[in-house]
Amino acid sequence: MTEASVLNIDTDSLVQAWQKTLPTVMKTSDECHIQADEKFPDTLLIHIKNAGRSHYSFDFRCKYVDKREVHVDFLDVEQDNKSIDEQTEDIRLLIEDYIRDIHECAQQLKGLTKQ
């Protein structure tokens, strides 16, 4: 088990907590998968599959700045496993929604990460 550098929780427990909590703040039909970034112990990689007919999937990097705050980077969006332009209005709105969901999840887990 690796210790997250700015957190007092091991990475495996952090990933499990995110995997349990993030779906509760997202639209119920969307799916997510959380994994630790092997290179950076205070960073999570988040993959979200949009439940709509568009078959979009999104990748984000979520880095803990401190025990309460995260910085979220959008990495990629795909449709049917092919990268697509993220500059369309629909895609930008979905990215913004998911970033809000990720921040909300971090807020819900602050009791765990502040220990």
pLDDT at 47: 98
Output the DSSP codes for 80-113: TTEE--TTSHHHHHHHHHHHHHHHHHHHHTHHHH
CA distance linking residue 51 with residue 108, whole number of Å = 23
CA distance linking residue 98 with residue 112, whole number of Å = 21
pTM: 0.91
CA distance linking residue 94 with residue 77, whole number of Å = 10
Checking if the pLDDT of 51 tops 90, the result is no
pLDDT in tens, 69-106: 899 999 999 998 898 988 899 999 999 999 999 999 99
The count of residues in the chain is: 115
Closest to 53 (Cα-Cα) out of 79, 22, 91: 79
